[in-house]
Amino acid sequence: MSKLLGVIVSLGVGAGAAYMLDPERGRHRRALVRDKAMAATNRMRDALDGKTRHWSNLARGYMAEARGLFARGRRTAQNASARIEGRA
């Protein structure tokens, strides 16, 4: 079974190499593959940039909300402390 698989893989690699290294159209085919690979890379980069920006903005919003909660808690604690001192 493994010999058969090796033969099939070798035939596929050989056919692919002959297809890409063809003297008449090989240059065009290689350029087409290169262009498609670059386009796919650019699409992936754009998609990841959008997701990265989204998660960064989300984290920034959570941090701002947490800072607001801590500041509000600090002010409440200071007010409570002032009221207690005023009673004593």
pLDDT by position in tens, the chain (length 88): 689 999 999 999 998 888 888 888 888 989 998 999 999 999 999 888 889 989 999 999 999 998 888 888 777 777 777 777 766 5
Sequence letter at residue 7: V
Taking the C-alpha atoms of residue 43 and residue 50, their distance in angstroms, rounded to an integer, is 11
Predicted TM-score (pTM) of the model is 0.48
Burial profile 7-26: b = 16 or more Cβ within 10 angstroms, e = fewer: eeeeeeeeeeeeeeeeeeee
Taking the C-alpha atoms of residue 5 and residue 77, their distance in angstroms, rounded to an integer, is 74
